Structure 1
Amino acid sequence: MKSYTFSEARQNFAAILEQARRDGAVRIQRRDGQSFVLTPEPQKASPLDIPGVQLSQPLTREDILESIQESRRSFDESHTSEVRPNKAL
């Protein structure tokens, strides 16, 4: 982990943030000996936020519900063919 003095961090704050993003953390040490570790927070993304999909209009509630129903139908269809009849004795 890369360490910086408080003065270095203050003068190069944007670069320090980028370093923390790339490496996961940087240490900043004050003159009095206290040190702090700067770490990036994980980005929170929506499960519907799919890279490469550009929507011309925002999704409506009906669009989302229709997608869920379509997914469930597709799942049911793919799994009903795997169901084997139970042979009774």
Structure 2
Amino acid sequence: MTIYTYSEARQKLASVLNQAQSDGEVLIKRKDGSLFVVKPISPSQSPLNVEGIDLNMSAEEIVDILREVRSR
């Protein structure tokens, strides 16, 4: 795990972020000894974000089927 000083991290921010991306996380240490972790996060996706399926049906056919089912 790579540790950067606060000054190094400020001067090389792009490199620090790239290092965090490749290694999983990077530490930044202040003069007072406090440590901070920089790590990438994965973009979360909605569980409702699913791929559609091709039914080979027109919208009109689907609406007709729904109307028929609802009328029962």
Shared fold (TM-score greater than 0.5)?
yes
Structure 2, unpaired ranges of 5+: 56-72
- Asked if 1:5 corresponds to 2:5, the answer is yes
Moved over 2 A (4+): 43-48
1:47 to partner: Cα distance = 4.6
Structure 1, unpaired ranges of 5+: 49-63, 71-89
Q: Structure 1 residues 15, 47: CA separation in 2 closer, same or farther (over 3 Å shift)?
A: farther
Aligned to 2:61: none
Q: Deviations over 1:42-86 (max 9, x none)?
A: 1235554xxxxxxxxxxxxxxx4xx26x3xxxxxxxxxxxxxxxx
Q: Deviations over 1:6-42 (max 9, x none)?
A: 0000000011000000000000000011000111001
Aligned length: 52
Counterpart of 1:39, as a letter, is: K
CA RMSD after TM alignment: 1.8
Determine the C-alpha separation between the residues in 2 that align with 1:47 and 1:18: 30
Question: How does 1:23-34 map onto structure 2 within 5 Å?
Answer: 23-34=23-34
> TM (normalized to structure 1)?
0.52
Over the matched positions of the two proteins, sequence identity in percent amounts to 42
Higher RCO (CA 8 Å, separation ≥ 6 residues): 2
